[in-house]
Structure 1
Amino acid sequence: MENQRINGNDLLAIGYQENHAMGVALKINKKRLGFTREEMLVTFKAVLEQPESYLHDPVFKPLAEVLLSIDTLEDETIALKEEALNYAVYGAEHIEDGAKKQMHVAMKLPVTVAGALMPDAHQGYGLPIGGVLATNNAVIPYGVGVDIGCRMALSVFDLPAEYLNTHHDTLKNVLKHSTRFGAGHGFLRHERTDHAVLDHSLFETHDFIRSLKDKAWTQLGSSGGGNHFVEFGIMEFASADATLGVAPGKYLALLTHSGSRGLGATIAGHYTKLAKEICKLPYEAQHLAYLDLHTAEGQEYWLAMNLAGDYASACHEVIHDKIRKALGAELLTKVENHHNFAWKEQFEGEEVIVHRKGATPAGKDTMGIIPGSMATLGFLVRGKGEETAINSASHGAGRLMSRTQAIKTLSATDLKTLLEDQGVTLLGAGIDEAPMAYKDIHTVMSAQTDLVDIVATFSPKIVRMADDGSRED
């Protein structure tokens, strides 16, 4: 199989070490550039043995340069702790080894104080999705994630659950016209919405952030691709909740999931690159490069991250306001929580920076929303403040299979049958977002009974998503 992908194990087998040279080699291999797999491996070995011979090669020059300077690079590298700190794992039997390995590396960072892995965890970049990491005065851009401030927002309306049946087509049209979906999508100038977040001082005082203002305005009130959604469903409160002021019963509710769009992604890319230039970590930890909050760069990222979080919240606010007005409904209660963020919090009496990459804040009495999938229950929860979990819980069901695996193995017919059985109308989305691609939400919830109490359930009924994360339907 000459086009089979070359991986790190293949490079180890021909003499490479797990260092930055391996990373450069794998990056070159992605392009392949007309080489067969065997030809590429032969050349990689030749470059390893005689890098000076390839200093003028248009393809392998970057690899040759790294190999010749590897000793200097390693001298500049910040050493990891010899032993990883222990960390709590919830639902360990349902978490893939790749996520545990990533968490193990994160627990060896010199700035790490504590960590925890949530039951929906799966492998990501740097910190695993579902990973929680507390650090000492340092923020990790990839520990926050690319979609900074991604969040859930729930509005419960003064309309009965039956409204879904009696006004089904109306609700479909409301979802179709209340936002835009997918990478790069936004609103035309005459459609744009104003919001106070666009008046943030960084848009005026920071050259890099100022260059993103038009993109931010264009995408304000839009939604992302992938697993982001806007959906109507039935919210069921089995008993009264005094804090929320909602009586027992079933209500029409709106649930949204999205983040900071192009603004956040651009900020994440910029500061991740900067962190890697400043904080040179060993190859296996390179995506965990951090910025000291005592430095100008660390403070810049912190301010930009918080702006992206505010912007993500503004996007949900615009969507929910549009839909509430379209329905002419009153709001009974609204709950919002975010992940892909870093917070200054107290842990064991000390201030730490808590990164929650795909994890929900679950401090004592903190409200949160944990969705399942497009055809399974979601849960409104109240945090218990479990310090072992660093006051966190899962942010969803978590992926059971990769998007590529889902596309290759799942059946559109089976998805259609499942949706019909559950009475779910789907607008957009690809097979990679099928419920079968996710862990069982009930298994995930049973693994975190020490972390949250369930207050109410949400059953999706009309679900709006991007077709494939890049185009509208």
Structure 2
Amino acid sequence: MHMNRINGKDLLTLGFKQGKILGLALEVLEKHYQEADRETVLTTMKLLLEKPEAFLDDEILEDLATSMIEEANEPKDTTIELNAAAKQFAIYGQEHIDEGAVKQMNTAMRLPVTVAGALMPDAHQGYGLPIGGVLAAKNAVIPYGVGVDIGCRMALSIFDIPESHYTAHPDIYKRELIDHTRFGAGQGFLRHQRTDHAILEREEFNMTQFIKTLKEKAWSQLGTSGGGNHFVEWGVIEFTEDDKPLNIAAGRYLALLSHSGSRGLGATIAGYYTRLAKEICKLPKEAANLAYLDMNSAEGQEYWLAMNLAGDYASACHEVIHNKLTKAIGGKLLARVENHHNFAWKETWNGEEVIVHRKGATPAGKGIMGIIPGSMTAPGYLVRGKGEDTAINSASHGAGRQMSRTQAVKTISQQEMKAILKANDVTLIGAGLDEAPMAYKDINIVMNAQRELVDVVAKFSPKMVRMADDGSKED
């Protein structure tokens, strides 16, 4: 009797979707169309699917048509699903990396745009990508994968001045270090104290009204350093053998090492484009801080230009600091090495172009020079990359924290801080207990975990360190 009855499979073939509407349609068919001609009913249902508004006056189909229109106008869930399984990634020094960092990296490895990833031995939990996380993405850039302090970097100047000159005249070096550096959130120079630089003439400052409003702050903060773990320090660098690429003979030399980023310019850019990415790219809660921008979109291209501007501005800040102090001490500059570690690069990996995010990771392509600092009392290292594919041509950006700032302040005393500084013959200007050496991992353990990633070229020992007076973070 019901051989010609229309079922759910028939409606799905017409184009209906699984869900509430399909159920309502089957109820209507069961109630009103059991004896009707099959082909006529199918034609009617197809017309209803295509133009439900044409049936709003139909005695039988009005309610179904209304429900179809209401569903079509409901806000769509645009959340992008993560892949069910995380792609595998290399972890260096895993036994010294906290579980939170590994969990964050696992989430990043489930993004639909992820191609590859790696975790460096100084890794610890952060926002979005963990600090020490490296992520290669396909045609997408993640603002929080770059980080808040865009283009944060290390810069090292090596002079022909012997260690003995510093030992004999520490007051001179202290005076010049204080005179030519500024630290902390919001710190800048008055107009008559400012330095002119080609970076301020860059066209990107005019690309949007938002970026244009940041130029004044960028000029005032040019040549200053942030808070937190940012520093400028005098130290001694030791080459145990001649380094031909740098043209430096074995020996001990006075050196200047700085660590800072793009100041308020970079922080404001990061905040703006992270919010924009989150509006455009809806991800599940656990991955929300990994919102990305398509590189083919206007927003993606705009962030890319702004990010590169901030990175070059960070480099200009170091250049101003090093030039001032080089002039002040009057030594001959033998070499200057620089690398950044909060950035995204267009690179080729496994034969395809990818966007490599290094959030607290040093570029370590084959032959690439980099600087990996320890703490204010632990040595840092001038290194040359080996170009290890599984690490996506990367290495650590430092020793990495083993205590949070809050934990360090609660557990480390001023007396302990002074004792370790004295034991290592280091003069400290500024800094809070949150930056105490004990808050950091052992740099030797970190370096040992990445022997396949970099070769050590020289060892840098801090002697006089300047940081923000209160350990404040960047604004």
Fold match by TM threshold 0.5: yes
Take 1:203 and 1:132, find their aligned partners in 2: how far apart are those partners?
29
- Per-residue deviation, residues 340-369 of structure 1 (Å, max 9, x unmatched): 100000100000000000000000000000
Q: 1:255 aligns with which of 254, 257, 260?
A: 257
Q: Which residue identity does 2:243 align to in structure 1?
A: D
Q: 1:220 aligns with which of 213, 222, 236?
A: 222
Asked whether the 8 Å contact 1:381–1:454 carries over to 2, the reply is: yes
Give the Å deviation of 1:468.
2.2
Asked whether the 8 Å contact 2:157–2:255 carries over to 1, the reply is: yes
Aligned residue number for residue 299 of structure 2: 297
Q: Within 5 A, what are the aligned runs for 1:19-418? A: 75-418=77-420
Q: Per the alignment, in what secondary structure is the counterpart of residue 113 of structure 1?
A: strand
- Per-residue deviation, residues 194-237 of structure 1 (Å, max 9, x unmatched): 00000000222321111000000000000000000000000000
Q: Which residue identity does 1:382 align to in structure 2?
A: R
Take 2:216 and 2:401, find their aligned partners in 1: how far apart are those partners?
34
Aligned residue number for residue 423 of structure 2: 421
Give the Å deviation of 1:464.
0.2
Give the Å deviation of 1:471.
9.7
Take 1:356 and 1:400, find their aligned partners in 2: how far apart are those partners?
20
Asked whether the 8 Å contact 1:148–1:340 carries over to 2, the reply is: yes
Give the Å deviation of 1:467.
1.8
- Per-residue deviation, residues 93-129 of structure 1 (Å, max 9, x unmatched): 0000000000000000000000000000000000000
Asked whether the 8 Å contact 2:228–2:473 carries over to 1, the reply is: no
Aligned residue number for residue 451 of structure 1: 453
Q: Which residue identity does 2:241 align to in structure 1?
A: S
Q: Which residue identity does 1:148 align to in structure 2?
A: I
Give the Å deviation of 1:411.
1.4
Q: Per the alignment, in what secondary structure is the counterpart of residue 311 of structure 2?
A: helix
Aligned residue number for residue 49 of structure 2: none
Aligned residue number for residue 36 of structure 1: none
Give the Å deviation of 1:74.
8.3
Change (3 A) 1:320 1:98: same
- TM-score, with structure 2 as normaliser: 0.83
Change (3 A) 1:278 1:116: same
Aligned residue number for residue 29 of structure 2: none
- TM-score, with structure 1 as normaliser: 0.84
Change (3 A) 1:177 1:471: farther
Take 2:126 and 2:472, find their aligned partners in 1: how far apart are those partners?
20
Take 1:471 and 1:451, find their aligned partners in 2: how far apart are those partners?
30
What do you get for the CA RMSD once the two structures are aligned? 1.2
Asked whether the 8 Å contact 1:90–1:119 carries over to 2, the reply is: yes
Take 1:428 and 1:145, find their aligned partners in 2: how far apart are those partners?
25
Q: Which residue identity does 1:81 align to in structure 2?
A: N
In structure 2, runs of 5+ residues without a counterpart are 1-73
Structure exhibiting the larger radius of gyration computed from Cα positions: 2
Q: Within 5 A, what are the aligned runs for 1:434-473? A: 434-470=436-472
Asked whether the 8 Å contact 2:226–2:473 carries over to 1, the reply is: no
Farther off after superposition, 370-379 or 74-83: 74-83
Give the Å deviation of 1:163.
1.7
- Per-residue deviation, residues 144-181 of structure 1 (Å, max 9, x unmatched): 00000000000000100112211100000111011210
Take 1:471 and 1:110, find their aligned partners in 2: how far apart are those partners?
33
In structure 1, runs of 5+ residues without a counterpart are 1-71
- Per-residue deviation, residues 372-395 of structure 1 (Å, max 9, x unmatched): 000000000000000000000000
Q: 1:433 aligns with which of 426, 435, 438?
A: 435
Aligned residue number for residue 3 of structure 1: none
Give the Å deviation of 1:291.
0.1
